[in-house]
Amino acid sequence: MPRPGTLWNHSSPRATSSRLNIMRRIFITATDTDAGKTYVTASLLRALISAGNKVIGLKPVASGREGAAISPDVAALLKAQCLPDSTAANINLYNFGAALAPSQAAAEEGQSIDPQALLGWCKERSKGYDISLIEGVGGLMVPLTDDYLVADWLNDMPDCEILLVVRARLGGINHALLTIDKLNRMGRPPRWIVINDGDNVGEDMLARHQQALAKAGELIIVPHGMACHLPNLILD
Instruction: Indicate whether 137 belongs to any domain.
Output: yes
CATH number of the domain encompassing residue 185: 3.40.50.300
Instruction: Indicate whether 143 belongs to any domain.
Output: yes
- Going by C-alpha positions, the residue among 234, 224, 225, 208 that lies closest to residue 5 is 208
- Going by C-alpha positions, the residue among 155, 127, 121 that lies closest to residue 56 is 127
d(CA 59, CA 61): 6
Phi-psi region of 18 (alpha: psi -120 to 50; beta: other; left: phi over 0): beta
Instruction: Indicate whether 114 belongs to any domain.
Output: no
- Report yes or no: 160 and 122 within 8 Å, Cβ to Cβ: no
d(CA 45, CA 61): 18
Instruction: Indicate whether 185 belongs to any domain.
Output: yes
- Give the SS3 label for residue 7: strand
Instruction: Indicate whether 177 belongs to any domain.
Output: yes
Instruction: Summarize pLDDT for 134-192 with one digit per residue, the tens.
Output: 999 999 999 999 999 999 999 999 999 999 999 988 899 999 999 999 999 999 999 99
Per annotation, catalytic residue among 37, 59, 123, 215 = 59
- Report yes or no: 224 and 200 within 8 Å, Cβ to Cβ: yes
| Domain count of the fold of the chain | 1
Q: How many CA atoms does the CB half-sphere of 24 hold within 13 Å?
A: 20
Instruction: Indicate whether 119 belongs to any domain.
Output: no
d(CA 129, CA 15): 17
Active site residue 59: yes
Q: Which residues of the chain fall short of a pLDDT of 50?
A: 1-21
Angle at 113 between CA 107 and CA 115, to 5 degrees: 150
d(CA 211, CA 230): 21
d(CA 58, CA 47): 16
Predicted confidence at residue 47, as pLDDT, reads 87
The distance between the two most distant Cα atoms of the chain, rounded to a whole number of Å, is 48
What range defines the domain where residue 146 resides?
A: 6-61+130-235
d(CA 222, CA 192): 13
Burial class (CB in 10 A: 0-12, 13-18, 19+), 155: middle
H helix or E strand, kind and range, residue 71: none
Predicted confidence at residue 229, as pLDDT, reads 53
Instruction: Indicate whether 191 belongs to any domain.
Output: yes
Instruction: Indicate whether 207 belongs to any domain.
Output: yes
Instruction: Please give the model's pTM, rounded to 2 decimal places.
Output: 0.88
Predicted confidence at residue 67, as pLDDT, reads 84
